[in-house]
Amino acid sequence: MKKTSKLKKLENSTQAYSNTERMPVLFLGHGSPMNGIEDNEFVQGFKKQGKQLSKPNAIIVVSAHWETKGTFVTAMQQPRTIHDFGGFPKALYEVQYPAPGNPKLAKELTHEVKPENTIGLDDQWGLDHGAWTVVKHLFPNADVPVIQLSINYTQKPEYHYQLAKQLKNLRDKGVLIIGSGNMVHNLRQVAWDKINEDYGYDWAIEADAKMKQWILNGDHKSLVSFQKQGKAFDLAIPTPEHYMPLLYTLGLKDDQDDILIFNNKPIGGSLTMTSVKFG
C-alpha cells in the first residue's frame, strides 16, 4: 500500500532544512494536565505564541515526564498520546494528539552529539502530557512531526546544558525545540485552596524572581548550579526533573536572541507557570 502524499510530505519535511528560517526556543511552564483541555490565561499564552511562530519542519520536546537511564529520542513513525496521570476528568483521557513522528530526525540527533553523549533510539514511549498538552495549543492541527528527547536522570545539570549546546544547529534547520516543565515545582507544598489563584509563597516568588533575573542577564552559570543557591531554591526545586528542561533551552540560546517572558505567574503557592521564548 502506498503512503499518502500528506504522510510523504511530513516525512520529507526535514529535507528542506537549508531553506528554512532559524527557529526560536521555548521553555513552557506546562502546569496541570488540565491545561490540555482548559482555555485559561496560560493556555491563551501558549496559543498566542503559537500564532506568532512560523510552521517548523519538526518539533523536539524535552519533557519533565520522560526520565530515563541514558538519553533517548523517540523514533517511531506515529507516536502514541500518553495519558500519564490519574484522577482527572474522562474528557482529558479522551484527548488524542495524532502528530506524526520523524524517525529521520531522531536518527540525525544521534549523530549530532559527541561520542560520549550517546543518544539511543526509542520505539516505545510516544508523547507524554508534558509534550502534547502544550504542543496542541501551538499547533492544533497536529500537522507538524513531534519527537521527544528524554532526560537522563543519572547525569548532573551541567551535562544537560552542554548536551543542548550540541543541538543548536537544528534551530537553523527549521526545528522548534521546546523544554516543558516548571521552574518552581513543589507539589508537596501546594496550597490546594489557592490552586487557581495568583499566589506564591515567599520562597517561590524569591526563586522565580532570581531565575528570571539570571535568564535576562545571561547568567547561565547560576542557573545550572541551582543546587547551590540556598533554601528558596531547595524548596522550589525539591526534585530536578521539572527544572531540567529549562537548562536545555538555555544551552540552545544564542547571545543575539531576544528574550520574552510570559505566563509570568505563580499558582497554588509552590508552582510557577513562568515561560520563556528565546529568539
The full DSSP string for the chain is: -PPPHHHHHHHTGGGGGGGSPPP-EEEEE---GGGGT---HHHHHHHHHHHHSPPPSEEEEEETT-EESSEEEE--SSPPBP----S--HHHHT--------HHHHHHHHHHS-TTS-EEEESS--B-HHHHHHHHHH-TT--S-EEEB-EETTS-HHHHHHHHHTTGGGGGGTEEEEEEE-SSB-GGG--GGGTTSB-B-HHHHHHHHHHHHHHHHT-HHHHHTGGGS-HHHHHH-SSSTTTHHHHHHHHH--TT--EEEES--EETBTEE--EEEE-
Residue 2 domain-assigned?
A: no
Domain membership of residue 32 (yes or no) is: yes
Q: What is the pLDDT of residue 7?
A: 43
Segment 162-170 shows an average pLDDT of 96
pLDDT tens digit sequence for 223-269:
999 999 999 999 999 999 999 999 999 999 999 999 999 999 999 99
Confidence check: pLDDT of 13 > 60:
no
pTM of the model: 0.91
Looking at residue 17, what is its pLDDT?
55
Task: With CA atoms as reference, report the closest residue to 213 among 31, 205, 165.
Answer: 205
135 falls within a domain:
yes
Instruction: Give the pLDDT confidence score for residue 63 in this predicted structure.
Output: 98
Quick: pLDDT tens for 191-217: 999 888 889 999 999 999 999 999 999
pLDDT at site 196: 82
Query: Chain-centre distance of CA 76, in angstroms?
Result: 19
The model's pLDDT over 58-88, given as tens digits with 9 standing for 90+, comes to 999 999 999 999 999 999 999 999 999 999 9
Task: Check which CATH number belongs to the domain holding 76 and give it.
Answer: 3.40.830.10
In a domain, 218, yes or no: yes
Q: Between β-strands 146-148 and 25-29, what pairing exists: parallel, antiparallel or unpaired?
A: unpaired
| pLDDT of residue 27 exceeding 60 | yes
Query: Per the domain annotation, does 89 fall within a domain?
Result: yes
The whole-chain average pLDDT of the chain stands at: 93
Please report whether residue 219 resides in a domain. yes
Number of compact structural domains in the chain: 1
| 184 belongs to a structural domain | yes
Question: Is residue 5 domain-resident?
Answer: no
Confidence of residue 21 (pLDDT cuts 50, 70, 90): confident
d(CA 102, CA 123): 12
Q: Which residue has the higher pLDDT, 114 or 106?
A: 106
Quote the domain boundaries for residue 193: 25-278
